Chain A
Amino acid sequence: DSGVTQTPKHLITATGQRVTLRCSPRSGDLSVYWYQQSLDQGLQFLIQYYNGEERAKGNILERFSAQQFPDLHSELNLSSLELGDSALYFCASTGINSGNTIYFGEGSWLTVV
């Protein structure tokens, strides 16, 4: 158990819809990262938040957005979903308490039909 909790574990939705994925980081970790894993693209960094503020952006589409709340949990919002958005979405966290090691959650499986 990495200590990073993600919900939901599985989600099936239709094209054009919007979903929200939720992440609770390890206790005390201030940094949260979101990654997308697909068969063709592998693991891709999407975005990072640190203590509520956006820190770095990777290959995140404009249809996607994220935020980190005062209690440090984070949400990834995916809108106008397309078939190609079907993937495994991981949240990861790190911080001083984690020795700056990045720990991953178990992921949220998103299937767009």
Chain B
Amino acid sequence: GQQLNQSPQSMFIQEGEDVSMNCTSSSIFNTWLWYKQDPGEGPVLLIALYKAGELTSNGRLTAQFGITRKDSFLNISASIPSDVGIYFCAGQQYSGGGADGLTFGKGTHLIIQP
């Protein structure tokens, strides 16, 4: 089946630092999405990317949809304590007139050290 390679697996950073994580795939996706999951919660959508090459920002978050449709990155600038959590990339394809289920990366654990 399809797989997304997400890296890094975990990050230990200082508050105020910038963060970068990425996902690559052997398959082409129509949509790339980035989610954040807090303990005991479901994934919450951060950014959705719909076109190859698209660069989208949401506050301190910036994500890009790779030109080849096989990769995406997420940057977080000036990290703050509430950024702690697990970040997932997800790819989505469309077939049969509708959107297929999401394929998720393994997640990046973001830990902010005091």
Q: Which of A31, A44, A46, A101 contacts B98 (CB 8 A)?
A: A31
Chain A interface secondary structure, helix, strand, loop or mixed? strand
Chain B binder among A55-63, A64-72, A73-81: A55-63
Q: Among the listed B40, B48, B102, which residue makes an inter-chain contact with A45, where contact means beta carbons less than 8 Å apart? A: B102
Q: A42-B104, A94-B99, A102-B102 are in contact. Are A59 and B45 (CB under 8 A)?
A: no
A-B pair number, CB within 8 angstroms: 61
Please report A residues at the B interface, Cβ cutoff 8 Å.
Answer: 2, 4, 31, 33, 35, 42-48, 50, 55-56, 58-59, 90, 92, 94, 100-107
> In chain B, residues 14-59, which have Cβ atoms closer than 8 Å to a Cβ of chain A?
33, 35, 40-45, 48
B residues 97-114 near A (Cβ < 8 Å) are 98-107
